Amino acid sequence: MSSSPLVLHTLALASILAISLLVVAHGNNLYQEFDVAWGEDHAKFFNNGELLTITLDQTSGARIQSKNQYLYGRFDMHMKLVPNNSAGTVTTFYLSSDTSNHDEIDLEFLGNLSGQPYILHTNLFAQGMGNREQQFYLWFDPTANFHTYTALWNPINIIFFVDGIPIRVFKNNSASGIPYPSSQAMRVYASLWNGDEWATRGGLDKIDWSKAPFIASYENYTADACLWGDSNCGNPAWLYQQLDAAGLNNLSWVKSNYLVKDYCTDTNRFPQGFPPECSLNP
C-alpha cells in the first residue's frame, strides 16, 4: 500500500529537520559554480562564464562538478547537444553523491547516426541501488537550439522535466522499504564522454572519430536548492512540489508518445518480478 500524502508530508518535514542544510542558493555563472573535474583543456568557458562547451575527441572528454553540495533542490540547465553523427557519445547533466552506496539522479543523452532521434536516458540510484532506467525520444532537434532540462528533487518525489514538461516521476516510498535519496549530499555534474560500448543501439554504432571534435554546449544553469551544511533551508516553492492535474496529463502524453524503455516492463532484467515501486509509482 502506498503512503498517504499526510504521511509523505510528515516524512518530508522530519527529513528536513533531521539533516543539516544551508540557505537556498541561486547561481547561473557556470565558471563560478563549477570546477573542471577532468579533461580541463576540453572544457571551455565563454562570455564571462555564462557559456560552457565540452569537447570530446580521441584524447579526452571532460566533466565539470559543482563547487557546492546539496540536499534537495531544483536544478535547471540549458543544453545544446552534439550535432550530426554523434553515435557513441554520451552528454550528461546529473547529480551524484561521492559515497560507495551512492545516490544519483541521471539525465544522459545518447548520440545517434545523422537523422536519427536522440534518446534521453534517465536513471536513479538510491543507497547504491540502480537499474531504474527509463528512456525517451525527444520531440524536437536538441542540437539546433538550447533546451531546458530539469531535475527536481525534494522529500516527496523526483521529477524530470524537459522544457518544463514532466517526463518522469519517482515517488518517495521509503515508508514501504524502497530506497530513496534523502540523506546524502550530492553535487551537480555535466560531462561529455565516449560511451560507444553501450550508448547507441546497445553499442552497435561506434564513434566515427573522423567527425571529431564533438561539442556540447551548456548555459543558464540555475540551482534553487538547499546547500549542505546548516540548519535553515527556508520554505521554497519546490520543497513539496508534486504534479498537478495538468502536469499529470503532460506526463501521460510523454509516456504515451515518447517512452522507449521502462525498467518496470523489462522482463529480461527482472524475470522474477518487477521492483516494488513499479506498482506504487504513477
Q: Domains of the chain by range and CATH?
A: 5-279 (2.60.120.200)
- Cβ neighbors of 184 (< 8 A, separation 6 or more) are 71, 97, 99, 102, 103
Whether cis (ω within 30° of 0) applies to the bond prior to 142 is no
Measured distance CA(14)–CA(261) in Å, rounded: 35
For residue 25, CA distances in Å to 50, 75, 175 come to: 17, 11, 29
Among the ranges given (90-99, 139-148, 232-241), the one the predictor scored with the smallest mean pLDDT: 232-241
Distance CA 46, CA 265 (A): 43
Q: Which of 33, 40, 50, 104 is catalytic?
A: 104
Higher pLDDT, 7 or 84: 84
Residue 135 pLDDT > 70, yes or no?
yes
| 133 catalytic per annotation | no
Q: 169 pLDDT exceeds 60?
A: yes
Q: Report pLDDT digits (tens) over 65-114.
A: 999 999 999 999 999 999 999 999 999 999 999 988 999 999 999 999 98
Residue 170 predicted with pLDDT over 50: yes
Residue 238's pLDDT band (cuts 50, 70, 90): very high
Catalytic residue (choose from 33, 108, 219, 277): 108
| Non-local CB neighbours of 148 within 8 Å, separated by 6+ positions | 76, 77, 78, 161, 162, 163, 164, 220
pLDDT of residue 26: 60
Q: Residue 77 half-sphere exposure, CB side, CA atoms within 13 Å?
A: 26
Known catalytic membership, residue 108: yes
Which helix or strand (DSSP H or E) is residue 159 part of? strand 157-162
